[in-house]
Structure 1
Amino acid sequence: MQTVKRIGGGVLFGSMVFLLFLVVFESFLHIPSWLAVAGRLHPMFLHFPIVLLLISFFTMWIPVSKGAENEWLSLLRLTAALSAVITAILGMLLSLEDVSGGDLLLWHKWGGVSIAILGFLFYSYHDFLVKHIVFTKFFTVAATFAIIITGHWGANLTHGVDYVLAPVLNQQKEFVPPEKAVVFADVIQPILESKCTGCHSASKLKGELLLENLKGVLAGGKSGPLFIPGQPDTSLMIRRLHLPVDDKKHMPPAAKPQLTEAESALLYAWIKSGAVTESKLFSLPEQDSFRLLATNYLQADENTAEPVYDFEAADEKKVLALNNNYRMVVPLGKNSPALSVNLYGRNIFSTKALEELLPVKQQIVELNLSRLPVKDEDMKVIQQLVNLQKLNLNYTDVTAKGVEQLNTLQKLREITLSGTAVTAAALAKILPLPELESVFVWDTKIDSLQLQPLKKKFSNVYIETGYIDKGDVIIALSPPIIKTPQGIFNKTTTLEIKHPFKGVDIRYTLDGTQPDSLSGKLYTEPIAVDQSVTLIAKAYKKGWYGSTPVQAAFIKQGFVPDSISFITRPDPKYSAETPALLTDGTLGDFANFSNGEWLGYQKNEAAYYLFFNKAVSPKNVLFQMLQNTGGHIFPPAKIEVWGGIDKAQLKLLGKLTPVIPEKNKPAASLQESVSLTTAEVLCLKIIIKPISALPAWHNNKGKPGWVFLSELVVN
Structure 2
Amino acid sequence: MILLQAPSDWALFFGHFHPLIVHLPIGFLFIAGLLEVGRRLGAVSLTDSVISLILFWSAVSATVACLFGYLLSLGGGYEAEILEEHQWQGIGVAVFAWVAWLVKSERFGDRIPFGSLLYVPALVVSIVLLMVAGHHGGALTHGSDYLTQYTPEPFRSLAGMPPRKESEVAIKPLADVNQALVYEQVVNPILQARCVQCHNAEKSKGDLRFDTAEMLRKGGEGGPVFVPGKGLDSELIKRCLLPLDDDEHMPPKGKTQLTDSQVAILSWWIDQGAPFDKKVADLTVTDAVKPALAQLGSGAPAGGSSAAPAAATGPAPEPEVLTMQVPAADAGALETVRKTGLLVMPLSKEQNQLEVSAVNARAFGDADAAALTALDEQLVWLKLSNTSVGDGALTQIAKLKNLHKLHLEQTKITDAGLKNLKGLPHLTYLNLYGTAISDAGLAELAGIKSLRTLYLWQTKVTPAGIAQLKKAAPQLEIIGGLNEQAIATFATSVTQPAIESPKATKQ
* TM-score, normalised by the number of residues in structure 1: 0.37
Higher fraction of helix: 2
* TM-score, normalised by the number of residues in structure 2: 0.50
